Amino acid sequence: MARVEANRRDFLRWLATAGAGLAAAGIAPALFAQEAAAAGTDVVVVLGATVVDGTDAPARPNSAVVLIGDRIAWVGPAVELPHCAGARIVDGRGRYLIPGLWDMHAHGIDYEKLWPPMFLANGVTGIREMQGYDENRATRDKIDRGELLGPRVVMGSAIIDGPVSLLGPPITQVANAEEGRAAVRTAVAQRSDFVKVYFYLPKDAYYAIADECRRFGLPFSGHWPYRLRQLDAAKAGQRTFEHLFGLHIATSSRRDEFLALLDAQPFDPNAKRDFFNLARELDRQAAQAYDPATAESHFAALKALDNWVSPTFAVNRVISRPAGTFAHDPRLKYVSQDIIDYWADRLTMFTPVTAEQIAQQDAYFEAQLRLVGEAHRAGLGVLGGTDCLNPYVFPGFSLHDELDYLVQAGLSPRQALQSVTRDAARFLGKASTTGTITPGKVADLVLLDANPLTDIRAVRRIDTVVTAGRVLDRTRLTRMLADVETAAKQPPAGANSRSVRLPVRGCC
Average pLDDT of the segment spanning 79-108:
93
The most distant pair of C-alpha atoms in the chain lies apart, rounded to whole Å, by 76
How many domains does the structure of the chain reveal? 2
Q: How far apart are CA 487 and CA 497, in angstroms?
A: 9
Please work out, in degrees rounded to the nearest 5, the angle formed at the alpha carbon of residue 45 by the alpha carbons of 42 and 48. 175
**CB neighbour class for 328 (10 Å; exposed up to 12, middle 13-18, buried from 19):** exposed
Q: How far apart are CA 104 and CA 425, in angstroms?
A: 10
Q: How far apart are CA 123 and CA 120, in angstroms?
A: 5
Which of 63, 94, 125 finishes a domain? 94
pLDDT top residue among 173 and 82: 173
454 within domain boundaries: no
Average pLDDT of the segment spanning 75-96:
91
Give the model confidence (pLDDT) of 24-69 as tens digits: 777 777 777 676 666 667 889 999 999 999 999 999 999 999 999 8
For residue 82, how many other CB atoms are within 10 A of its CB? 16
Here the CATH number for the domain that contains residue 74 is 2.30.40
426 within domain boundaries: no
287 within domain boundaries: no
Average pLDDT of the segment spanning 180-186:
98
Which residues lie closer than 8 Å to 299 by C-beta, 6 or more apart? Answer: 251, 374, 375, 378, 379, 380
Which of 201, 230, 259 finishes a domain? 230
186 within domain boundaries: yes
Which of 94, 124, 140 finishes a domain? 94
Burial 181-203 (b: 16+ CB within 10 A, else e): bebbeebbeeebbbbbbbbbbbe
How many helices (H) and strands (E) would you count in the chain? 19, 18
pLDDT for the residue 194: 98
Identify the domain containing residue 38 by its residue range.
Answer: 5-94
Q: Examine the domain organization and report whether 163 and 90 are in the same domain.
A: no
Average pLDDT of the segment spanning 76-86:
86
Mean pLDDT over the full length of the chain = 93
